[in-house]
Structure 1
Amino acid sequence: MNASEAEGFIAKWRTRWPEWRIAVAFLPEPARAPAAAWFALLQELSDAAWGGPDPTPGLAKLAWWQEELQGWSRGARRHPLGERLQRFRAPWLELGRALAVLPATRELGAAATLQALQALGRAAADCEQVLSDGGAAAAGEGAAASVAQCLTGERVLLAGQRTEALWLLQQWPHPADGPRPRRIHAA
């Protein structure tokens, strides 16, 4: 593993979210690299869960990610993004366990997906809190809901469900809760 491998995943995320080039200016310098790596990780998880017409490869990837995040909780890592994220004492094990819900959301509508992703939203919000401030404060319910809504947005966009995306946009919280990187990303 080297830094350029992690940068490749981050560059892939930036290609999907080009507005981040502007948004990142609103983050303090030390928060920028962890935020980009975190959002790249979430994109990898979203692509594994919902990308492509056949869910089979995604199931294998999600199982791999569950194992990988379990390793991060013990200080081990294989994926290049782990080089950027694993050192944070985030609840990686809980995040890995929460991934189990993703396959069931592949064919759901936005409302059902949003409901199903609450536990994953909580686990991800707890990780975001640690990445943002070292876990000095617990992530609130609003932060968990913001993560779940953003993940649901990824799902409906990957599926090309325009009506579902419009419904989700009407539910969007203004302003979003959570650490600054999440609030900027959700905006």
Structure 2
Amino acid sequence: FRRWPVASALISASFDDEDVSRRVFTRIQELHGVALLNLTGLVWVEVAKDGHLEVMTAPHDPVAPENERDAASFAQILGSLLATPLLGARVGGTVEAVVDRIVENEATPERRLRKQVASILTPGKWTVVAYASQVAEAVVRAELAEDAPELTIWQIDDAAARDLASDADAAS
């Protein structure tokens, strides 16, 4: 049992029920507030049956320290999910266009992570995605177990976070 791993983590869960997804979104903010994770970013995504996306973000906690590398890494992951017009899609993209953009041949850690993350968006479902460090994983899972029994927590090693952040610098 590792209470405070050094690596960052991407936390996600998908839901059939909008109210449950919103409850988990709020609960993750509360877990940040009681120091069970250090939240870099948190988004709630509704994926319509036609693949169009609606996104809500949580405001940044002004008291929490900002880590530029983690913020850039999360921005890259979100960019992969919430891509702008691709393959003739409207602004906001569609799941199909996002997945087409993610398909890459290089097997680097950040590319594998982007492919995994792309699979969390499903038409007709709601998804919560958080990027955090210092995650008390066992406690977070226990706190969210009732509403998010299939919660996924991907550990993001330093190399993948560095590569993602480097991609953000190249994109700006």
TM-score if structure 1 supplies the norm length? 0.31
Q: Which has the higher strand share?
A: 2
Q: Which has the higher helix share?
A: 1
TM-score if structure 2 supplies the norm length? 0.33
Higher relative contact order (CA 8 A, sep 6+): 2
